[in-house]
A = this chain, B = another copy of it.
Amino acid sequence: MNAPILVIDDDPTFNEVLTRAFVRRGFAAHGVLSADAALQTMQAQPPMRVVLDLNLGGASGLALIKPLLQANPACRIVVLTGYASIATAVDAIKLGAVQYLAKPVEVEAVLAAFAAVAEPAAEAPIGHLPLSVERLEWEHIQRVLRENDGNISATARALNMHRRTLQRKLMKRPARK
């Protein structure tokens, strides 16, 4: 329980805030800003708990999940992202992450994910409101984008929309409703 929580996030501010929040709550925590730094750190000491941002300065955080679990199969990885989408959530969980949360997120939620022993309650608190058009669009775009390996131009063509428009949409955060 004394191995530090590894925080991998390329946003210096967020990284520090989160790391400090852990420390303040009595957990050892160590923040790194890049995938490379993360790989180095995990070789020195395979972490038990990791908070992983999906967007690491261009590189995808998803690529880190495998090596992390390889270094320590018991490692509990919580994926965090400001641009949450079902497509990436599915991938993250399939790769072995234990939880996927959208920023902004409360430290409590992350800790809860680490603590949760057993798994998903089949009790689905299924929402009763259909997806908003915006949200649906976002999910669809994300899915197609993944299908095209993140190639924006190709995605725009496939979606029959203007590249510039796609670019702009991607810069915005996903609609929460």
* A interface, CB within 8 angstroms of B: 54-55, 60-63, 65-66, 81-91, 93-95, 99-102, 109, 119-134, 136-137, 139-141, 143-144, 147, 158-161, 177
Question: Would B95 and A122 count as touching, CB distance under 8 A?
Answer: yes
Instruction: Let me know if B82 and A124 touch, CB within 8 A.
Output: no
Tell whether, in the assembled complex, residue A124 and residue B62 are in contact, meaning their CB atoms are under 8 Å apart: yes
Give the chain B neighbours of A139 by CB distance below 8 A.
84, 102
A90 partner residues in chain B, CB cutoff 8 A: 89, 93, 99-100, 120
Given A62-B122, A83-B127, A83-B131, 4 more A-B residue pairs with CB atoms under 8 Å apart are: A83-B128, A87-B125, A89-B89, A160-B177
Instruction: Tell me the nearest residue of chain B to A120, going by C-beta.
Output: B91
A129 to B61, CA, bound (A): 17
Q: Which chain B residues border A129 with CB–CB below 8 Å? A: 83, 158
Taking a contact as CB atoms under 8 Å apart, the answer to whether A94 and B91 are in contact is: no
Partner of A55, one of B126, B132, B147: B126
Q: Give the distance to chain B from A128, nearest Cβ to Cβ, in Å.
A: 7
Taking a contact as CB atoms closer than 8 A, the residue among B109, B121, B127, B140 that contacts A130 in the complex is B140
B126 touches A88 (CB 8 A): yes
Residue of B nearest to A112 (CB): B147
